[in-house]
Amino acid sequence: MQDDRPTPEQMLSRLQTEGDDGTTAKRRGKLKIFFGYAAGVGKTYAMLQEAQRLKAEGHDVVVGYVEPHGRKETEALVAGLEQLPLRQVNHRGATLQEFNLDAALSREPEIILVDELAHTNAPQSVHTKRWQDVEELLQAGIDVYSTCNVQHVESLNDIVAKISGVVVRETVPDDVFGRADELSIIDIAPEELLARLKEGKVYVPAQAERALERFFRKENLFALRELALRRVTERVHADVETARHGRGVNDVWPTGETLLVCVGPSPSSAFVLRSAKRLANALQAELVAVHIENASTQQLSPEARNRLVNHLRLAERLGAETVTLAGDDLVAEALALARRKNVTKIVIGKSEAPRGWFRQGASITDRLIQDSGEIDIYVIRGKTEVDASVSNDVVVQAQSTSIGAKPLQWLGTLGILCLATGLAWILDWLGASEANIVMAFLLGVVCVALVYRRWHALVASIGAVLLFDVFFTRPYYIIVVDDAQYLLTFAVMTAVGLIVTALSSRLRETLWQTQRNTRQTEALYQLGRKLTGINGQQFLASEAERAISELFQVQAIVLLPEDGTLRPILHRDASFAADPSELAVARWVFQHETIAGRGTDTLAASQATYLPLLSPAGAMGVLAIQAEDVGPLFIPESRRVLEAYASQLALALERDRLAIESQEATSAVEKEQLRSTLLASVSHDLRTPLAVIRGASSSMLHANSKLDTETQHELLETIHEESDRLSRLVENLLRWTQLSSGHVKVTKEWFPVEELLGSALGRLEQSLGSRDVRIDLNPSMLMAHCDSVLVEQVFINLLENACRYSPDGTAIEIRGEQKGKRTILEIADHGPGISKEDQERVFEKFQRGEQSIADSRGVGLGLAICKAVMDAHDGKITVSNAESGGAVFRLELLADELPPSVDESPADDYVEDSQTDGTEP
């Protein structure tokens, strides 16, 4: 029974196409493109004619932009239509007239005419391209009529350039062109177009002469015309398919010819394929080759499997689209595919109905003819007799599964029947009715059908009937029926046995197909998931080799380019991978990006099959596969899975390469930024103190006798101050270089915080000046487990930062406390504080605060060095604003043990030892 209900995909297409009332689901304007193969065919003229007709019918039609090209006929058609004012744009001394998008959106007409869809707008326009203006109009719900030539379609641009020798710069994206609601082809003969061109109806005479010499040659026009007509034909075909599937129509619409040829392992399939190709050529039709497989595919002989693979390759060489389906109802699968692809004719090799006592109905050919409906069936008798192991050309099915089964399976069938007979004897001895005894035999038939094949269950059904007749019906122990009513019992037993047999066989085949698809899908998913989370070529190649080898039971080797040579990335022991001739095949595949090797038509003498690992950037490497029998790998379904694995690996390798390049690019950018910043600091922060020192020293050198003592002292102080500033700047640069390179070794010891602060304050005595530095440590002998040199540098940078970003004369507060193993220090100033934006990036290198009110010199490394030092100590540094104003920098140093007490300090130990010796400390 044919199911005419729409598929879920068809329902979705319909919902996307229509709303509940049959109108467009989303409110969007409609785009109609008047399409031609060259300028002058009459696109604008036809668009204006359509506009005049619509206006006469009462529609609100407005001219947004029309390019008449000086044609009087075109200008006459514009008359009577409302025209929007054009936008005047001054560009390079010339005044350009452009489409006024704002005026169109304000006017909100029902239909607007916008000529030349591919036009590039003048600078300072809202959009770069006119098709972008049209997109905004469509989003606003305005219908748009526009024009376009074939050379402006993006995907055809290079083809047109090759034909005409003229490169067209203005193009329309294919998705924009494809979303047009209506495509109207405007076509005239090339001879008529040339005549119009010579008459000056297309371009002015000077332009017409140049056009005739280049673009408008007659042979060019013929080629462009064919391109345009083909594009329109493709669009019409797509519209037909959308209409068919969108409305859930499963019937064939014979708007064009499509042939479906059924392929199997039969020797006659090659002849059937070639005959179908000749028929497709005669009808100018597309050719689709279908192969339907089921569980019996695994039982094909090696010769039959090789023939199947060769037939599928032949279909590909003939230009057919190859499709592999899985299903137990072969005719239904073939017809379902035919209706999905709008096939008008099916070509099949002639097959006969099964012979013998156990005929299973009509042949597949008969069923196709009976169920095909409006689809024509072409039956071709092959020149080679059909192989006895193949029932027809549609299926991959071996009939040899009948009598040639293993003897142990027949013994198992006999054993189950014996057990069923024994169970029936027990039921009969217990006085059970004959109906219950029959159930025992049916149970045996079901067990045989579930465990073994169709022929075993069929024999078990007949054997059960005979056993019941011999042992449980009168007269006993003879195949004679005394009561005619037993005939009905026998018939029912036989029918039930056959039905159970058929259902079990179908269930087994469906289970096999489901398990195979699930296994392949799960394996592909797992590989993709693992490759996504792995970095490094070796790890990616190892995971891919393992997955492919396990799934296909082959030996897989990944070869990647290394130092200009293609070689196995993991250097595994594989004899074929080390063979120079095999490596030459791999290099050929890598260079030509084409499969080659064993089982293919290229370099077939190789030991392995080689697949290129293709990514959008090109070939990333080669996947080599060595198997005893490569035939199963070239069944379309298996080949598609294998190519999917190769694509997954190629994309993972491309991702890994891009990640490395991104890191290198980031590193290069950072280095360039560092270089630029250092150069800037040299040009300003280093040169400024050097200039001051040079000036002061020069004054003292050349005017020493003329300078009084006070002036000399001031100059010496200036030299000293700037030298100190320069020394700290260079020290910061060197310190940052050491920290960023990781060459600084942190040596932690217990040090009194008061001593570290005292040393830092001493070095900043001149910078601090008269500032009041308030120190509050709890306990007073606060200890820090740190590298004294590095932490002292942190104190210096923080104190210098407080001086720079707070007014002169304000106090700087230093607080410290001990919380378990943590030593916490805070340095606060009374400046303007730090904004929230700066708090997030103030510890980055070359970042400076924006609230500097005094000295703004510096390269922005001080706080970055503090952060690096604290990270090296596994500590933490943060910044916040105090409630009373000013910035507060908080340091946290963590130790592995509690700090020593005052009594356990090294100084106290020294005192105790001295007193014990009787000496003075």
pLDDT digits (tens, 9 = 90+) for 693-729: 888 888 777 765 577 788 878 888 888 877 877 776 7
Six-digit token string for 130: 């006119």
Reading the block at residue 231, the tokens are 């594009």
Q: What is the mean pLDDT of residues 575-594?
A: 83
Mean pLDDT value across residues 242-264: 68
pLDDT at 473 over 60: yes
Q: Percent of the chain at pLDDT above 90?
A: 13
* Residue 861: closest CA among 848, 850, 878, 879: 848
Taking residue 57's Cβ as centre, other Cβ atoms within 10 Å add up to 8
Residue 445 contacts by C-beta under 8 Å, 6 or more apart in sequence?
420, 457, 460, 461, 464, 496, 497, 500, 501
537 vs 93, residue with greater confidence: 537
Q: Say what the pLDDT of residue 352 is.
A: 53
Angle at Cα 84 formed by Cα 78 and Cα 86, nearest 5°? 105
Higher local confidence (pLDDT), 786 or 215:
786
Asked if residue 388 has pLDDT above 60, the reply is no
pLDDT at 204 > cutoff 60:
no
Q: What is the pLDDT of residue 437?
A: 79
Of the CA atoms within 13 Å of residue 6, those in its CB half-sphere come to: 15
Rounded-to-integer distance, Cα 859 and Cα 607, Å: 64
According to the model, what pLDDT value does residue 355 have?
A: 44
Q: Among 503, 504, 551, 492, which residue's Cα sits nearest to residue 526?
A: 551
Burial status of residue 558 (CB atoms within 10 A of its CB: 0-12, 13-18, 19 or more): buried
Report whether 85 contacts 103 (CB < 8 A). Answer: yes
DSSP for 535-576 reads -SHHHHHHHHHHHHHHHHTSEEEEEEEETTEEEESS----HH
Q: What is the pLDDT of residue 84?
A: 92
Mean of the pLDDT values across residues 739-762? 82
H or E stretch including 789?
helix 788-804
Q: Cα–Cα distances in Å, from 375 out to 48, 77, 247, 258, 341? A: 44, 49, 20, 10, 12
Average pLDDT, stretch 856-877?
79
**Cα–Cα distance for residue pair 544/168, rounded to 1 Å:** 45
The torsion of the CA quartet 337, 341, 345, 347, rounded to 10 degrees, works out to: -50
Is residue 63 very low, low, confident or very high in pLDDT (cuts 50, 70, 90)? very high
* Nearest Cα residue to 551 out of 579, 517, 506: 517
pLDDT of residue 907: 41
Determine the pLDDT at residue 636: 64
**Band of pLDDT at residue 877, cut at 50, 70 and 90:** very high
In the chain, DSSP finds a helix count (H) and a strand count (E) of 30, 26
Written as six digits, the tokens of 243 are: 């209409």
How open is the CA angle 124-128-133, to the nearest 5 degrees? 105
Q: Measured between alpha carbons, how far is 416 from 440 in angstroms, rounded to an integer?
A: 11
Q: Quick check: 820 pLDDT over 60? A: yes
19 has pLDDT over 50? no
- Written as one string, the DSSP assignment of 864-907 is HHHHHHHHHTT-EEEEEE-TTSSEEEEEEEE-SSPPPPSTTSHH
**In this structure, are residues 803 and 767 in contact, taking their beta carbons and an 8 Å threshold?**
yes
| Averaged pLDDT for residues 617-622 | 86
- Kindly state the average pLDDT of the residues 341-370: 69
Q: Quick one: tokens of 377?
A: 């069936």
Instruction: Considering only residues 91 and 831, tell me which one the structure prediction assigns the higher pLDDT.
Output: 831
pLDDT top residue among 569 and 36: 36
Residue closest to 45 by CA, chosen among 250, 196, 256, 257: 196
pLDDT of residue 888: 93
Element (H, E) at 35: strand 31-36
Please, which residues bridge with residue 876 across strands?
892
Tens digits of residue pLDDT in 114-151: 999 989 888 878 888 899 999 999 989 999 999 998 88
What is residue 239's predicted lDDT score, i.e. its pLDDT?
A: 64
pLDDT of 162 over the 90 cut: no
Position 879 scores a pLDDT of 92
State yes or no: pLDDT of 816 exceeds 90: yes
CA atoms within 13 Å, Cβ hemisphere of 626: 14
Residue spans of beta strands (DSSP E) within 214-334: 258-262, 286-293, 321-326
Per-residue pLDDT averaged across 391-409, rounded?
46
Q: How confident is the model at residue 1 (pLDDT cuts 50, 70, 90)?
A: very low
User: Among 98-102, 239-243, 824-828, 863-867, which is the least confidently predicted range?
Assistant: 239-243
Other Cβ atoms closer than 10 A to 763: 19
Q: Is a pLDDT exceeding 90 seen at residue 253? A: no
Answer for the pair 414, 422: CB distance below 8 angstroms, yes or no. Answer: no
Please give the DSSP secondary-structure letter assigned to residue 685. Answer: I
d(CA 552, CA 523): 11
Strand 111-114 and strand 61-65: pairing?
parallel
* 732 vs 818 pLDDT, higher one: 818
Cβ proximity of 403 and 451 under 8 Å: no
Q: How far apart (Å, rounded) are the C-alpha atoms in residues 683 and 618?
A: 46
Going by C-alpha positions, the residue among 431, 457, 456 that lies closest to residue 442 is 457
Which one of 14-18, 45-49, 227-231, 499-503 scores highest in mean pLDDT? 45-49
Instruction: Decide if pLDDT at 22 tops 70.
Output: no
pLDDT average, residue stretch 416-426: 84
pLDDT band at 111 (very low <50, low <70, confident <90, very high): very high
d(Cα 834, Cα 663) in Å, to the nearest integer? 32
List the structure tokens of 846.
Answer: 């070359």
Residue 920 vs residues 391, 570, 696, 912, 917: alpha-carbon distances, Å: 115, 73, 52, 10, 9
**Would you place residue 921 in the very low, low, confident or very high pLDDT band (cuts 50, 70, 90)?**
very low
- Give tens-digit pLDDT for 528-576: 777 777 778 888 888 888 888 877 788 888 888 887 788 887 655 556 7
Check: CB of residue 96 under 8 Å from CB of residue 76: no
pLDDT of residue 60: 93
- Average pLDDT over the chain, rounded to an integer: 77
- Highest mean pLDDT, choosing among 55-64, 234-243, 552-561, 840-849: 55-64
- Is the Cβ–Cβ distance between 873 and 746 less than 8 Å? yes
Would the pLDDT of 803 be above 50? yes
Question: In 468-504, which positions are buried (b, 16+ CB within 10 angstroms) versus exposed (e)?
Answer: bbeebbeeeeeeeeeeeebeebbeebbebbbebbeeb
CB 589 within 8 A of CB 623: no
Which pLDDT value is given to residue 911? 39
How many Cβ atoms sit within 10 Å of the Cβ of residue 673? 12
Mean local confidence (pLDDT), 178-198:
84
Under 8 Å between Cβ of 88 and 95: yes
Least confident of 385-394, 601-610, 656-665, 747-756: 385-394
Q: For 50-59, 384-393, 467-476, 515-524, which range has the lowest pLDDT when averaged over its residues?
A: 384-393
CA 620 to CA 655: how far, in whole Å? 11
